[in-house]
Amino acid sequence: MAIEMKLKRVCIILMICLAETATKAVAQDIYFCSSYTNEGKPVGASKSWSLDKNGGYVFILFNSHKRHIKAKSLVIQLMKKTGSQYQRYEKRAMELHLDKNWAILDYQFTEAGDYDAIVQDKTGKELGSDFVTIKLAPKTEDSTGSIWKNEVDPTRNYYHAKTIFCKSILNGNPVDSGSVFPYGEINVIIRNDQALATDSIIVDVFKKGYESEKYPIYMTTKNFRIDKSLPDASFSLVFDQTGQYKIVAYNNRSQTIAIGYISVR
- Nearest Cα to Cα of residue 94 among 110, 71, 113: 71
Amino acid in position 49: W
Write a three-state SS string for 202-213: EEEEEECCCCCC
Domains of the chain as residue ranges with CATH: 29-136 (2.60.40.1930), 162-264 (2.60.40.1930)
Confidence at residue 28, expressed as pLDDT on a 0 to 100 scale: 63
Confidence at residue 235, expressed as pLDDT on a 0 to 100 scale: 95
Confidence at residue 121, expressed as pLDDT on a 0 to 100 scale: 85
Q: Are 213 and 224 within 8 A, CB to CB?
A: no
Counting Cα atoms < 13 Å in the Cβ hemisphere of 94 gives 31
Cα–Cα distances in angstroms (integers) from residue 191 to residues 35, 95, 156, 169, 260, in the given order: 30, 23, 18, 13, 12
Confidence at residue 23, expressed as pLDDT on a 0 to 100 scale: 37
Q: Say if strands 56-63 and 102-109 run parallel, antiparallel, or are unpaired.
A: antiparallel
Chain-centroid distance, C-alpha 72? 15
Write a three-state SS string for the chain: CHHHHHHHHHHHHHHHHHHHHHHHHCCCEEEEECEECCCCCEECCCCEEEEECCEEEEEEEEECCCCCCCCCCEEEEEEEEECCEEEEEEEEEEEECCCCCEEEEEEEECCCEEEEEEEEECCCCEEEEEEEEEEECCCCECCCCCECCCCCCCCCCCCCCEEEEEEEEECCEEEEEECEECCEEEEEEEECCCCCCCCEEEEEEEECCCCCCCCCEEEEEEEEECCCCCCEEEEEEEECCCEEEEEEEECCCCCEEEEEEEEEC
Confidence at residue 119, expressed as pLDDT on a 0 to 100 scale: 93
pLDDT tens for each residue of the chain, 265 residues long: 555 555 555 454 445 444 444 333 345 689 999 888 888 889 999 999 998 887 888 999 998 877 788 777 788 999 999 999 999 888 888 877 777 789 888 888 888 999 999 999 878 889 999 999 999 888 655 444 433 333 444 444 467 889 999 999 998 899 999 999 998 999 999 999 899 988 889 898 988 887 777 887 888 888 899 999 999 999 999 999 999 999 999 888 778 899 999 999 9
Confidence at residue 40, expressed as pLDDT on a 0 to 100 scale: 87
